[in-house]
Amino acid sequence: MQRGVRHLYPRLARLARLARDTVHIPNHGSGYAIHAIHAIHAIHAIHAIHAIHAIHAIHAIHAIHAIHAIHAIHAIHAIHAIHAIHAIHAIHAIHAD
């Protein structure tokens, strides 16, 4: 997909430039206008796909960071709880003696 897009993109860009430069000349006909519209739509679609992939990647990174942060907080809480329980048990044991 990516290799195909990279291969296609320069051709689309060239076509869009050609169409942009020639479409306003009446005797070139409407074929250039149609090609230009297709090229522009294709370029917009490629940009949209890249943007969507980027947004998904950012969301995924944020989600992973959030999960790591939650896990870290849980781990810290668990360690604190274990230490507190050990301390309470130790104090009880000392008092029992």
Please give the Cα distance from 87 to 90 (Å, whole number): 5
pLDDT of residue 60 exceeding 80: yes
pLDDT (tens digit, 9 = 90+) per residue, 72-88? Answer: 999 999 999 999 999 88
Domain total in the chain:
1
How far is CA 26 from each of CA 16, 22, 33, rounded to the nearest angstrom?
Answer: 17, 9, 10
What's the number of CA atoms in the CB half-sphere (13 Å) around residue 79?
6
Domain span holding position 81: 2-96
pLDDT of residue 90 exceeding 80: yes
Please give the Cα distance from 37 to 44 (Å, whole number): 10
Q: What is the C-alpha end-to-end distance of the chain, expressed in Å? A: 74
